[in-house]
Structure 1
């Protein structure tokens, strides 16, 4: 991308010897996590690299141990600009923990990279910006993050595709609805918040990230499907899909990030099957008004039975 290099920095770069380093500012999109900075220099830097006038203020760019960056691939044909960074999992030098990395706190965070004269921190230029891909942790020793350019957003689907099942998130509300937990451009509209029920873990088995016994007394299949959000415990704040509820035992669709322990509390509610008929289907929640809220096309002829469970398969 074209960039304007300050005159003072350009004059410094024209010299035979330079004192420049790379700085990266990372802003997590997950709530509760503050922005932080990294540098390839062997000591910490304090600078105000708000070249986009976002009022970020002074920030400490920390010299992370083992930080390394690959060559950045950039093109003019609308391909996604990308680079890859690797660093050892920090113990004390960077405010990032292995637990947060594994939990996905830094997935899809916004990043901005700068070239900086560390002898005069007023001389810097923004090199690129974009979003991180999924952060991967290797054997608890190092983590790798993909740095993707903003053209990645242009490859995302922004319109609806047709599908037999409903595409809306159950309980979602229109964009801009005050107090809504989940909003969508094409929402479900049903208020599912009153259906949350509090519960606690009574016992866990060998698969302590998949299934556990609860203190809830409900008919088998009542929470099928369902959504479960943890209130306390190692998984607090995370939400998971429930695949089965049988004899007070809840089975998650995917493993929880951390093992479930006895005494962990949660809230659970039935979810929509995304079909128009059947138990917990659209008709059960909306009654005769289901057709006004069903975000799918249930009467499309199916050419391939494999498409029946894949929303957006028929384009």
Structure 2
């Protein structure tokens, strides 16, 4: 149940029109920004909520079951408030959003009416519309351990325990030429096998994309040249000379965990689990019915 200040409740009961909505956005990197649909800036909880950004919100939906509550906010990009580059770079992905109803005559009279996170964002010109997902959205996400042949944890996390700071798995490099929007030739990665950084992670250290990370789609060594293909185009153009740090990739298979990272003891998958081909297989004369998947008539499970 919401706790509404008695003075604010009195104004609500009287149909007072001195109310405004404020949104306080907390990004995952700790940056906090405030916005309001009022025509003047308002300070709420020590956060300056900026006016003049075009922020508006749709009608919110709320349900009694575990369905995801939701609404939308829309606004305009502004260099000193919310930039298109930050949004495109993913700095607002899953950012926490608190929505307040505030009496702009006395900002101490306020009530928290919703809390959630940013979901899908649509952009058009200098405007954007962002989906606000309620707290129930967490219940719609997959959680817990899954029984799959491939590993279910992230490379380098507390369960994997691979030390990605090691020079074996982390290198520094620089862009030497641009071959496409998300395809570059780089230096500093010599001596490593083709595919070593496939599914790895690039963190830009300098240039227009400094501080932004992106996953590597493919790492190829062609005639002594190292090429990196990224999964998505960067928010800002990549330039020759841009430096980066890159970490090795993992395809989540047991063989890669064992051979590349010597980490078989921490593998979090089930490589012997039967696959679909085993389920639909049938016994053949001379084949042992032991489920090993090594004889004709039985599919492999790994």
Indicate the TM-score class for this superposition, using the shorter chain for normalisation.
Answer: 0.7 to 0.9
Residue 250 (structure 1) aligned with residue 223 (structure 2): no
Secondary structure in 2 matching 1:193: coil
Match of residue 156 from structure 2: 171
1:82 is matched with: 70
**Counterparts of 1:147 and 1:276 in 2: how far apart (Å)?**
39
**Number of equivalenced pairs:** 272
> 1: CA distance between counterparts of 2:155 and 2:204?
18
Match of 1:297 in 2: 270
1:158 aligns with 143
Contact 1:208 1:261 in 2 (8 A): no
Q: Based on CA coordinates, which of the two structures has the bigger radius of gyration?
A: 2
CA drift of 1:91 comes to: 4.0
Which residue among 249, 257, 276 is the counterpart of 1:282? Answer: 257
Residue 159 of structure 1 deviates from its aligned partner by 0.6
C-alpha displacement of 1:224 = 4.7
In 2, are the aligned partners of 1:203 and 1:214 still within 8 Å (CA)? no
Q: Structure 1 CA distance, aligned partners of 2:105 and 2:23?
A: 17
Root-mean-square deviation (Å): 2.3
Q: Secondary structure at the match of 1:274?
A: coil
Q: Given the two structures, how large is their TM-score scaled by the length of structure 2?
A: 0.82
User: Does the residue aligned with 1:135 lie in a helix, a strand or coil?
Assistant: strand
Which residue number corresponds to residue 200 of structure 1?
174
Which residue of 2 is the match for residue 230 of structure 1?
204
In 2: Cα distance, 1:113 partner to 1:144 partner:
16
Which residue does the alignment assign to 1:261?
A: 239
Q: Decide whether aligned partners of structure 1 residues 47 and 193 sit closer, same or farther in structure 2, where only a CA change above 3 A counts.
A: closer
Higher mean alpha-carbon deviation, 124-133 vs 227-236, is at: 227-236
How far does residue 41 in structure 1 lie from its aligned partner after superposition? 0.9
Between the aligned partners of 2:145 and 2:165, the Cα distance in structure 1 is 26
Structure-1 separation of matches of 2:11 and 2:214: 53
Q: How does 1:122-137 map to 2 (within 5 A)?
A: 122-137=108-123
| Partner Cα distance (2:7, 2:211) in 1 | 48
Report matched runs for 1:70-109 at 5 Å.
70-92=58-80, 95-109=81-95
Quote the residue 1:179 is aligned against: none
Aligned CA distance change for structure 1 residues 267 and 146 (closer, same or farther; 3 Å): same
Deviates more, 1:105-114 or 1:263-272: 263-272
Task: In structure 2, list runs of 5 or more residues that go unmatched.
Answer: 279-300
TM-score using structure 1 length: 0.79
1:211 aligns with 2:184: yes
Q: Flag the 1:260–1:71 CA change in 2: closer, same or farther, 3 A.
A: same
| Local SS of the residue matching 1:134 | strand
